[in-house]
Every structure is written in C-alpha cells, then in structure tokens.
Chains A and B, each alone.
Chain A
Amino acid sequence: MLSFIIRRFLSAIPTLLIIVTISFFLIRLAPGGPFDLERPLEAKVMENLNRIYQLDKPLIQQYWLYLTSVMRGDFGPSFFLRDFSVAELFARGLPVSMTLGALALSFAILIGGTLGSIAAMRQNSGVDYLVTGLGALGLTIPNFVVAPVFQIVFGLTLAWLPVGGWANGSVRNLILPVTVLALPQIAVISRMTRAAMIENLRSNHIRTLRSLGLPLHVIVSHALRGAALPVVSYLGPAAAALLTGSVVVETIFGLPGIGRYFVEGALNRDYTLVMGTVVVIAVFVLLFNLVVDILYALIDPRIRYD
C-alpha cells in the first residue's frame, strides 16, 4: 500500500506539470491583458507595468520564470489585487472555502446516506417516493435560486439567521451557506446510496444472511459496506469541488472564500491568480482521488495495489 501511495505521488508531478503548462498558455491566448482598462493607460505606464511584472519578456521565458517560482512555492503577486500575493489570497480564502465545503460534505454524507438507505429498505413505499422526489428537486433547483429564497425566508421574513457575511466563521453565519451547498449533494448521495443499497440487498450474500436468520442490523451493516463503494468513488471528485469553494454561494452570501477567484481572476486576466487556482484545484482533485483509492482498498479486500 505504501509503495502504491508513493507511486501515486510521483505520478502526480508530471500530471501537475501538464496542467500548469496547458493553463499557462491557454489563459494567455485570451485577448487582452491584466492592465487593459476601459480607458487605455498611457503607453509609458503600461510599459513600466509590463516590465515590473515581466510581461515584456518572450512568452517561453515567462513560462520558465513562472515554473521555477512555482517550484519554489511562490505563486507570484496578484496582477489585479495588487497589494496581495496569490499565496496570501489563498491563505485567507482557502480556510473559509474548506470549512464550508467540509461541513456541507459531512452533512450531505450523513443525511444523504441515511435517506438513501431508508428509501432502499422500504423500496416503492411512500418514504421511498418522498426521498426520490426530494432528490430530484434538490438536483434540479439551482443554488442561485435556493440561496436568495433562503435569505428571504430565514434571514428577512423569519429573521432567524443573518443573510450573509463570514463573522469569523460563527455558526449562525454558516448554517445557510452550508445548507445551500449541501442540498444538491444530499440529493445525489441519497440517490446513489439508494440504488447501491437496493442492488446489495438483492445480492446472494445478503440472501445468505437472511437464510441464517440474522437480525436486520447485521443485514443493513453488510449491505451498507457493499453499497459504500460506488458512493465513495463519487465522493472523491465531489469533495475536491466542494472544498475549493463555490462562486455562487460565496458571492450571494458575501463570504471571503476562494471560489470567486477563478471567475474574477479569469475576467480580469489576473494570470497568476488563475494559475494559482488551477494548481490548488488540481492538487485537491489528485489528492481526493488518491483518498478514494485508499478507501476502496480498505473497504474491499479484493482490491490490492501491490
């Protein structure tokens, strides 16, 4: 197992290199640059800016400069938010996004897993239809609709919770954004759990347990372990996406996460910020895929990587 993990870390290096290379050139293909405003800057100012940020050098040299600084762990200064380095921006924003994402994910696994299992145990009953119906609803209503509705209902009409803001991560401020983030995940996880549980409950080895007269909780725990496999493989990419922030939720609730950097960075041609975001997301995706593979081996003894 250890050698598998080491191999995976080694193979992540060329993957990251390819991702960095492609996105470096892609963002530079987009027309315009970081210092193009509505009213063009004076030629002299522009020249100075370009020189300071080394944008006057040949592209290939810029690429090399960027690559070597990234290897030293320096993601450079933000081109647009000029008082900050990219590293500083992430140091502030990432904990916010990760807190939101981790809470939403745990919440979704707990609620979605439970709902899905109950629905599977009572297949084609009222409870089952309710869960699958709610699941469809959770999937189809977009979060930019749910979020303002929650703000109006819980923040303004009932005035139970603040409509936005971070407030150093106070619980009251977290409830609404975490719920909005979790809802579609609850829908997906409950549907996947339901399908996997139904398949497992029908399997021959569960029939064996029933033929041996074992109580329900034994049967459910065996079925859950089998049903966990497909859900876990979904959770890897889902965790990577959730923990790296959501543009919509962070914008609507005014939260200082990193979700908006990708969009804002791209719109402002903030080359270093976009690149930083790409690297962070790529690292998360690679990391969680590794976590999924390790979990797989822990759950299923038939899977061996050595």
Chain B
Amino acid sequence: MAESVLTIRNLNVRFRTGDGILHAVKGIDLDVAAGETVAIVGESGSGKSQTMMSVMGLLATNGWADGSVKYRGEELIGLSPDKLNDYRGSKLTMIFQEPMTSLDPLYRIGDQIALPLTTHGRMSKAKARARAIELLELVRIPEPTRRIDSYPHEMSGGQRQRVMIAMALANNPDVLIADEPTTALDVTVQAQILELLADLQKRLGMSIVFITHDLGIVRRFADRTYVMKRGEVVESGVTNEIFTAPKHAYTRMLIDAEPTGRKEPVAAGSPMVIEARDMKVTFGLKKGFFGKAGHVLHAVDGVSLSVRAGETVGVVGESGSGKSTLGRAILRLLPAGGLVRFEDRDLMPLDRAGMRPLRRHLQLVFQDPFGSLSPRMTAGEIVTEGLLVHEPRITRKERDRRAAQAFEEVSLDPAWRNRFPHEFSGGQRQRIAIARAMILHPKLVVLDEPTSALDRSVQKEIVELLRELQNAHGLAYVFISHDLAVVRALSDEIMVMKSGKVVERGTAEAIFEKPKQTYTQDLIAAAFLRGLEDVKTAAPLAS
C-alpha cells in the first residue's frame, strides 16, 4: 500500500438539534493513500458528506467531531480554524455539489482564484493573475485571458464547477475532496467534468475522495470504495470486488437500485388521450425602453406528440431544452401556439374557466417534493384540495375517506394524513404529490422529473408505484426527465429534445440501442459514462 495521506480513525460527528443530539457519523475508519481515488457512497443522510466536512473543519456551528483525522501524521481534529488554515486550501481542498452558488456572485472569478494563491502561496497580485489564467487553461475554460474577468453569473454551471476545481488545485493539493461535484449538472457536462478530474489526477498525482450517490461514477472512477449507511461504513474494499461480490445487503440493494424493467407495449386500439401538434412557446427576453423588439427565445419550437391511454411518452433533454415548458404547454398552463386535443375536444379555444372542469383529467407532478407541497397544510388537506374544486358537493367525511383511500393507493399509512409535509421524507412527499394527482382519477399525468430529487433506492420505489398506477387505471403519462435510466424503464416512446426542438424520436428500444442522431448518442454515452471506461485503469492504482 502506498503512503497514506489521510487517516481517519474512530471519527464521530454529532449535531445538536431541536430533538436532542443527532449522531451523524458513528466512529468510522477511512484511509486515503497518495494518488488514489476513494469513493464514499451512500444515500442522503448516510453521513458521507459530514465525514469530509469534519475533515475540512466545515461542520455547521451546531456540529462537532471527535476521534482522529491525520493528514500525513498530523492530527487535524481539535485544531483552531487558524491552524487548520495551514492545511485547507493548500494541502486539502474541496469542491462542492452546488456549482451555481459556491462562487461569490459579487467578485470576478479571477479575483476569487487569486485568493488562495495570495494567501497560501504569498504570491503578488500580478503573479497570482498569471497563475489564475494558467489554472483556467488547465481546467479547459476557453479564452482564459478574457474569462478571468467574468463574474460567476456570466458562466454556466459546468464552467463554474471548473472554476471551483481551478481554485481547489491552485496550490497543488495532496487531497481533493469532491462532494457530489456533478450531481447538479447535465449528463454531458457531468461526463466532461469527470473526465477532467481523472485527467488532472493523472497529471498532478493528487488523491481524490469522491463523495457520491451515483454508483455508475464509483464503478468507473474509484480505486477503492466505502459504502456508508446511517453514519456507519457497512462495507469497504476495492471497487471491482464490491461491485462483483457485494457482501453487505445494503450494498447489494444500492447496486440493484438502478431502475430496471421495461414498459409493456400498449394494447392496439387503445384510445387517444392527448394529441398536441406543432406546439410553440416563446419568451420575450427583456424589452427595450422604447418598446424595441427584445430578444425572443423559442423555448418550444414546433413539437408534436400524442399519448394513448396506458402509454408513456418520455421526454428527455438537458436543462434548457424546453422539456418542462412543453409539459406545461400541453396542459395549457402557459400561453402557447399550436393545437392540443384532449380526447375529442380542442383545448386551444378554451379560457381558464372553460379549462377548469377538464383539469381533473390533466394532472401534473413536479420535481421538487419539498417546494411543491404547502408547508401550512396537512398532507390530507393537500391531497383533497382538488376535490374542493371538482367535487364541491361531497361531505367532509367523504373527502376524508377518499384521502385515506388515496394514501393507501400510493402505499402511505392513511393514519399519517394529519401530518404536515415537513414530517415526511423526500420519497414520501413525492408519494403525497402523486396521491394529490391520483385522487381526481386523471386520464393524463405529466410527470416533470418526479424522481430526480430522490435517492436511487427511493427512485426505484416511485418508478414501481407509477407503473402500478398506470396498469391499474390505464393512465397516459408524459414523463419528463434528464435521467435516461428511469426514462428507459418507464417509456413506450421517447422524444429527445434540444433547444426547443425534437432531435430524435422513437421507441425506447430504438433510441437506446440504435440512436441515429449524434446528439442522442452523446447523451446516452454521457449518461452511462461510456466514454469513461478507460479512466480507472489509467489512473494510478494504490494497491
């Protein structure tokens, strides 16, 4: 085994909370050798991030750590922030999950990259600027001499994460801790960032600690893997062995949690539920003061789709491709051009009042299970709110009975219907959101990234639930997602969108097995990290 740079022994992290003390990390041991990549995997709440936050002295003010964290033999736990600053930013650095907010919006990126250089390296401003340009080049930001004077808001998420990496690498660190660095990014961008990290590691020889929930990344990227669950390491070892012969049931569950199964084809002659033709949505970006014609964004540009009862149409694409806008346009939640027919009715001439009786048939489930439920209503009230509009005459008691029924349908305990949303987990909240749609017995449900904010194992359960509901009620789904694995498991037909247009469409099998367009091919390769197959073997192995 190569020299150990980071040695963690019996590390505990605790938080003082309103409900007493939360033991987030329970006495774990972890080693990182020079030049190796170590992955820490686990689902939300497993303590994987807090472990590394305590190494960096970045725990929230109500948290504290004990045990031992040694960097090349020197104890870090218990050091004052001042002393810790000798290591942070120079020997140990970290990049985070939130590239959009991790840079200071008020300062130019060049000034931000210069900060660790002038502080730790005691460089002059001019030297630091030259080095910052070098670093931007290293992380492959085009035109670094010009971009160095950009503000963060002038860059995309992927570019901001590159800037973060540049800052982290400024002083040639020994260990780079990457906390879900690509989770918030599109798959093609994710692939580029991962490739960049692998390449930088090869050239600079630092160790990488990769915190992630994505087993696909772990498999291709990490030499060794630690699997964490509820604050404990349940399994650790060489990545290949863990994947081929997982010893712990939890590891097996994580590996199996990739959504599986394929959609059964719809029976021939199944009635058409929704038919949209030549949908167009435009947004005016900023108007001039004297009514000058502003820039017009074609968010959805001539897209058609039709869904039959029991059928699922998957809409995939990266952020900004117009897929969510399309979903809202079909439901006539935004002004759009084109034609929408629901069963045999033309929806376009209907106004708000005209649409209202039809709304119960056309439901929507959102991505964010935290933001889409009112925190001031009980789960039962949230679920039955639609009934107040569509079946105003039923009694309170009947509404309550229907709520209980809807809860059972989505496998939630009906006794929980008097609880508030914050008392539920993310997956349970998404079940409430689905129950809210189902209670009205809809014919079409637009599912806008319903699984994207959830852990893989929870995702799998939601996918199963959606499948059961579709089979039981013959629902038509429009399934919008950037997660190709989930889309593949659920869809009959898939549309690939880019810049408001459909790039390619076809059956799920055709799209995944024989994609015709290069964009689709790139998307699929990126999603399944196919381009990265050689990364791990090329990286220096520790053992």
In the assembly, what is the distance between CA of A216 and CA of B85, in Å? 10
- CB A42 to nearest CB in B, in angstroms, measures 59
Q: Which residues of A contact B289 (CB under 8 A)?
A: 7
Residues of B within 8 A of A208 (CB): 96, 102-104, 164, 167
Set B61, B153, B168: member contacting A123, Cβ < 8 A: B61
Q: Which residues of B are found within 8 Å of A222, using beta-carbon distances? A: 104, 106-107
A179 to B525, CA, bound (A): 69
Tell me the smallest distance from the CB of B55 to a CB of chain A, in Å: 10
B115 pairs with A214, CB closer than 8 A: yes
Q: Using C-beta atoms within 8 Å of the partner chain, give the interface range for chain A.
A: 20 to 34
Judged by a CB distance under 8 angstroms, whether A157 is at the interface is no
Most chain B CB atoms below 10 A, which of A203, A208, A225: A208
For the complex formed, measure the closest distance between the CB of A20 and the CB atoms of chain B, giving whole angstroms.
Answer: 26
Interface string of A144-177 (1 = CB under 8 A from B): 0000000000000000000000000000000000
Cβ A300 vs Cβ B106 within 8 A? yes
Contact with B along A240-256 (1 / 0, CB 8 A): 00000000000000000
> What 1/0 mask marks residues of chain A from 127 to 150 whose CB sits below 8 Å from any chain B CB?
000000000000000000000000
- Check B65 for interface membership: any CB of A closer than 8 A: no
Known contacts: A211-B93, A215-B119. The answer to whether A205 contacts B61 by CB under 8 A is no
Q: Contact between A301 and B153 (Cβ–Cβ < 8 Å)?
A: yes
User: Which listed residue (A205, A210, A214, A302) contacts B119, Cβ 8 A?
Assistant: A214
Q: Is the CB of B88 within 8 A of A213?
A: yes
Docked complex Cα distance between A298 and B161 (Å) = 26
List the A side residues contacting B58 at CB < 8 Å. Answer: 207, 210-211
Q: A299 CA to B115 CA in the complex, in Å?
A: 19
Cβ contact of B85, chosen from A206, A213, A226, cutoff 8 A: A213
Q: Which of B61-119 contact A (CB under 8 A)?
A: 61, 81-82, 84-90, 93-94, 96, 98, 101-107, 115-116, 119
Q: Is A209 an interface residue (CB 8 A)?
A: yes
Question: Which residues of the other chain, A, contact B116 by a CB distance below 8 angstroms?
Answer: 212-214
Contact A213 B106 (CB under 8 A): no
- Tell me the minimal C-beta distance from B401 to chain A in angstroms: 45
Q: A210, A212, A302 — which one has the most chain B CB atoms within 10 A of its CB? A: A212
Q: What string of 1s and 0s marks CB contacts (under 8 Å) between A191-227 and chain B?
A: 0000000000001111111111111101000100110
Asked whether B56 lies within 8 Å of A211 as measured between CB atoms, the reply is yes
- Cβ of A300: which chain B residues have Cβ within 8 Å of it? 105-106
Report the number of A-B residue pairs with Cβ-Cβ less than 8 Å: 82
Q: Digitize A270-306: 1 where CB-to-B-CB distance is under 8 Å, 0 elsewhere.
A: 0000000000000000000000000000011110000
- Contact among A7, A204, A212, A299 with B106 in the assembled complex (CB-CB below 8 Å): A299
Tell whether A209 pairs with B115 under 8 Å between CB atoms, given A204-B96, A301-B153: yes
**B residues in contact with A302, CB < 8 Å:** 105, 151, 153
CB distance from A294 to the nearest CB of B (A): 16
In the complex, what residue of chain B is closest to A306 when comparing beta carbons?
Answer: B289
**In whole angstroms, what is the CA distance A302 to B167 when docked?**
22
Q: B61, B86, B101, B115: which contacts A204 (Cβ < 8 A)?
A: B101
Q: Which residues of A contact B23 (CB under 8 A)?
A: none
Greatest chain B CB density within 10 A among A207, A211, A225, A226 is at A211
Once A205-B102, A226-B104 are accepted as A-B contacts, the answer to whether A213 and B151 lie under 8 Å apart by CB is no
B14 lies within 8 A of chain A by Cβ: no
CB-defined contacts of B115 to chain A, threshold 8 Å = 209, 212, 214, 218
- Which chain A residues lie closer than 8 Å to B107 at the CB level? 222
- Knowing A123-B61, A211-B58, A214-B119, the reply to whether A225 touches B88 (Cβ < 8 A) is no
Asked whether A211 lies within 8 Å of B106 as measured between CB atoms, the reply is no
What's the tally of chain B residues with a CB closer than 8 Å to chain A?
34
Please encode chain B, from 277 to 292, with 1 for each CB lying within 8 Å of some chain A CB and 0 for all others: 0000000000001000
Q: Is the CB of A203 within 8 A of B101?
A: yes
Cα-based distance from A238 to B58 in the complex (angstroms): 38
Q: Is the CB of B88 within 8 A of A205?
A: no
Query: Which residues of chain A come closer than 8 Å to B102, judged between CB atoms?
Result: 204-205, 207-208
Residue of A208, A209, A213 ringed by the most chain B CB atoms within 10 A: A213
B3 → chain A closest CB, angstroms: 23
Chain B, Cβ-Cβ closest to A4: B289
Closest to B99 in A: A204
A14 to B70, CA, bound (A): 69
A213 to B85, CA, bound (A): 4
The complex places the Cα of A301 from the Cα of B82 at a distance, in Å, of 31
Tell me, rounded to whole Å, the shortest Cβ–Cβ distance linking B88 to chain A: 3
Chain A residues with CB under 8 A of B81: 210, 216
Q: A213 vs B56: C-alpha distance in the bound complex, in angstroms?
A: 9
Q: Is B120 an interface residue (CB 8 A)?
A: yes
- Chain B, Cβ-Cβ closest to A218: B115
B94 to A, closest residue via Cβ: A211
A217 → chain B, closest Cβ, in Å?
Answer: 11
A7, A204, A218 — which one has the most chain B CB atoms within 10 A of its CB? Answer: A204
Interfacial chain B residues near A216, Cβ < 8 Å: 81
**From residue A227, how far is it (CB to closest CB) to chain B in Å?**
11
Residue of B nearest to A305 (CB): B289
Q: How far is the CB of B120 from chain A (nearest CB, A)?
A: 7
Q: Is the CB of A214 within 8 A of B104?
A: no
**Distance between Cα atoms of A207 and B56 in the complex (Å):** 10
Distance (whole angstroms) from the CB of A250 to the closest CB of chain B: 39
Taking CB atoms, residues of chain B closer than 8 Å to A213 are 84-90, 116, 119-120
Bound CA span A142–B168, Å: 52
Residues on the A chain within 8 Å of B105, using CB: 205, 226, 300-302
How many Å lie between the Cα of A6 and that of B168 in the bound state?
A: 44
Q: B84: which A residues are within 8 A, CB to CB?
A: 213
Which residues from A are CB-within-8-Å of B101? 203-205
Which residues in B have their C-beta under 8 angstroms from that of A299? 106
Beyond A212-B116, A214-B115, A218-B115, 19 extra complex contacts between A and B, CB < 8 Å = A205-B103, A206-B104, A208-B164, A209-B104, A210-B56, A211-B88, A211-B94, A211-B96, A212-B115, A213-B87, A213-B116, A214-B89, A214-B116, A214-B119, A216-B81, A225-B106, A226-B105, A226-B106, A302-B151
Q: Please give me the 8 A-B residue pairs with the lowest Cβ-Cβ distance, nearest first.
A: A213-B88, A213-B89, A212-B89, A213-B85, A205-B104, A204-B101, A211-B94, A212-B116
Q: Can you list 21 contacts pairing A with B, beta carbon distance less than 8 Å?
A: A123-B61, A205-B102, A207-B58, A208-B103, A209-B104, A210-B57, A210-B58, A212-B93, A212-B167, A212-B168, A213-B85, A213-B89, A213-B119, A214-B85, A214-B115, A215-B82, A215-B85, A222-B104, A222-B106, A225-B106, A302-B153
